[in-house]
Amino acid sequence: MLTRLKRSLVKEMPRVLSLPAKYCPFSLQSLVIEKALAVSFAEAIEDGDLDFLEQRHLKLTVSDLNASWYITFSQQKLQVQAKADTVDVSFSGELNDFVLMMGRQEDPDTLFFQRRLKIEGDTELGLELKNLLDNLDIDDLPNWVKAALTQSAELVAQYQPA
């Protein structure tokens, strides 16, 4: 019974989260995403590891949420925008695959070669971003973020439909 519930949760979560992604005002979405990015990439920002994204735009699309955000690095912080005049690189995939990648249950290269993570545009910039994500040490994240990410990724890895 519990297994069936967990499997259902993993399967239905993207559909459930697509509602706030669709109806939540962009200003609130960007505020939440910017806070999460600031926490997750605090050390990388401090070390100057995101300077390569200055004046560049990443389009991040979570396809099963039917949602996209444009991210740039400016004034020493990651900023989320509703649109961008130009997009230098695009990352797209499904929610559960991003959860698996960020929770270290799947390697970004594996997701890319299985065509579950799509990278389009400036190849060099895409590789820099992929490497940044790959080198992000989740042990450096606040404990509550690390726990949420790790537990979510383990749940998805164990119960995601084949």
- Helix and strand counts by DSSP (H, E) for the chain: 7, 5
Helical axes 2-23 vs 143-159, angle rounded to 10° = 120
The confidence band for 162, taking pLDDT boundaries of 50, 70 and 90, is: low
For the chain, give the percent of residues with pLDDT over 70: 99
Determine the average pLDDT of the residues in 12-19: 88
Q: Is the pLDDT of residue 148 over 70?
A: yes
> Domains, the chain, ranges and CATH?
2-159 (3.30.1050.10)
Q: Is 112 helix (H, G, I), strand (E, B) or coil?
A: helix
Mean pLDDT of the chain, nearest integer: 91
Max alpha carbon distance in the chain (Å)? 51
CA distances from 79 to 9, 85, 94 (A): 31, 15, 22
Q: How far is CA 67 from CA 21, 110, 124, in A?
A: 6, 23, 25
Strand 89-93 relative to strand 58-62, pairing: parallel
How much is the average pLDDT of 2-17?
A: 87
Q: What digits encode the pLDDT tens for the residues 93-129?
A: 999 999 999 899 998 889 989 999 999 999 899 989 8
The pTM of this model reads 0.89
pLDDT higher than 90, residue 20: no
- pLDDT tens digit string along 38-84? 988 898 999 999 999 999 999 999 999 999 999 999 999 999 999 99
Q: At 117, which amino acid appears?
A: L
Torsion of CA 59, 161, 146, 141, to 10 degrees: -30
The predicted pLDDT at position 142 comes to 79
